[in-house]
């Protein structure tokens, strides 16, 4: 079971698949994550704080994937091809 923080970040990411950030409501995210609005504000302080945390989490996961692929043994051409393919697949799956 994810922590409240992870559940809120997941809810924010899911909301962005359907509407722009300006239309995302904190109350809706709290409901989707099954936590109180107070928990949401305790975790992130504000909508901007939530946005920063979401961008940080997604960027960290992206960079971890890139590092993993670049560290793989093999010819550079194959590594770059694998990286390019991963970037396209990742972008389609997680457009944030």
pLDDT tens by residue, 22-57: 999 999 999 999 999 999 999 999 999 999 999 999
Q: What is the DSSP letter of 59?
A: H
User: Predicted confidence band at 96 (pLDDT cuts at 50, 70, 90)?
Assistant: confident
Q: Residue 95: pLDDT above 90?
A: no
Residue 79 has pLDDT above 90, yes or no: yes
Tokens of 92: 């389609």
Is 65 within 8 Å of 86 (Cβ atoms)?
A: yes
Report yes or no: 8 and 27 within 8 Å, Cβ to Cβ.
no
Residues 66-94: what's their mean pLDDT? 93
pLDDT value for 75: 94
Domain 4-93, CATH homologous superfamily name and number: Tetracycline Repressor, domain 2 (1.10.357.10)
The model's pTM is 0.85
Domain assignments of the chain as residue spans, ordered by start: 4-93
pLDDT for residue 67 is more than 80? yes
C-alpha gyration radius of the chain: 16
Q: At what angle do helices 4-16 and 47-71 cross, to 10 degrees?
A: 90
The answer for 45, left when phi > 0, alpha when psi is -120 to 50, beta otherwise, is left
């Amino acid at each position: 079971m994810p922590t409240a923080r992870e559940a809120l970040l997941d809810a924010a990411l899911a909301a962005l698949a359907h509407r722009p950030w300006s239309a995302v409501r904190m109350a809706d995210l709290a409901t989707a994550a099954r936590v109180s609005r107070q928990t949401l504000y305790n975790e992130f302080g504000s909508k901007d704080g939530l946005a920063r945390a979401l961008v940080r989490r997604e960027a960290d996961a992206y960079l971890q994937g890139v590092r993993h692929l670049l560290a793989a043994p093999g010819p550079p051409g194959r590594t770059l091809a694998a990286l390019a393919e991963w970037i396209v697949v990742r972008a389609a799956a997680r457009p944030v």
